[in-house]
Structure 1
């Protein structure tokens, strides 16, 4: 079986995740023992994951965050900013966004207000929220 036309056709149909998974499965000896339905399931899973990743990257790019690398997992609660861990984790859950509420972060200069805001925005992008400019 010629794999190049299949890969080219998958790419032409914009199924890049499937094309990458197809190439990987072709090179693995263990994949030869899989049933066609299992192959298809793996290809579909990879395509769905690829599309989800692309949507996240697009949302993050459109958000134009000052601190694009900020994430809630990297928040240091020991820093001298008097950040309430429970409150911040509640904010990170994003319920305030679903309820269409605003968030105002205040504090002295240099404590990381912008970074915390970007971390919350990055989490919102991961959760599927998009930026809407009024």
Structure 2
């Protein structure tokens, strides 16, 4: 059995790909066997991490790509990166932190929430993006509510965008409460954006969200 076949059977596709490129370099620079193996393994690990992030981003259904590094904090001088620091590390999930971003349209709330959710994916977690309208409509017409809830309950981080922008009609508060309450009981963060006063959000989602949420608002 050849080395190429063995690497394929073991699922070491990156090692299989880079081996022909690295072998002459290793020979020329007189790498030890350990150095050569470490380089091959590091290449495999790096590629798997990149693949995992790409897969999780696809599952998250972000409407556009956004990172905290591309957010223009000079545009909103009263919002500082330091204000969001505790939401950008693994403690967002491990310490069950949620967030409400309140402000008028065009202030970058969606960009920030996507950035935070993307950072959580980089930190090894899963995320999901939805608008409040899409979530409510999806759950309100579901034949099996428990089954329909799963995509919103399973990810470590859930972004609910544009809360309160439109009227939702009857039953909206009930299905939204199901998401908020069950995620709260599981200790899973929610990132909200809204153009409505915070008291309106709390009145819809009930006390559980209020106990775990840090609001950030700006004009």
User: What TM-score results when the alignment is normalised by the length of structure 2?
Assistant: 0.52
2:87–2:97 Cα contact (<8 Å) kept: no
Which structure is higher in strand share? 2
Which structure is higher in helix share? 1
Equivalent pairs counted in the alignment come to: 127
**Structure 1: unaligned runs, 5 residues or longer:** none
Check if 1:15 corresponds to 2:12.
yes
> What are the within-5 Å matches in structure 2 for residues 33-112 of structure 1?
33-68=30-65, 70-80=66-76, 82-112=78-108
Q: Deviations over 1:61-82 (max 9, x none)?
A: 11111122x1111221110373
The 1:90–1:102 alpha-carbon spacing in structure 2 relative to 1, beyond 3 Å, is closer
1:7–1:22 Cα contact (<8 Å) kept: no
Residue 58 of structure 1 and its aligned partner are, at CA, apart by: 1.6
The 1:48–1:96 alpha-carbon spacing in structure 2 relative to 1, beyond 3 Å, is closer
Q: Deviations over 1:4-55 (max 9, x none)?
A: x433442343211211221211343xx1122222221211111111212211
Check if 1:133 corresponds to 2:152.
yes
User: What TM-score results when the alignment is normalised by the length of structure 1?
Assistant: 0.81
Residue 83 of structure 1 and its aligned partner are, at CA, apart by: 1.5
* Cα distance in 2 for residues equivalent to 1:109 and 1:24: 51
* Cα distance in 2 for residues equivalent to 1:8 and 1:98: 41
**Structure 2: unaligned runs, 5 residues or longer:** 128-150, 154-219
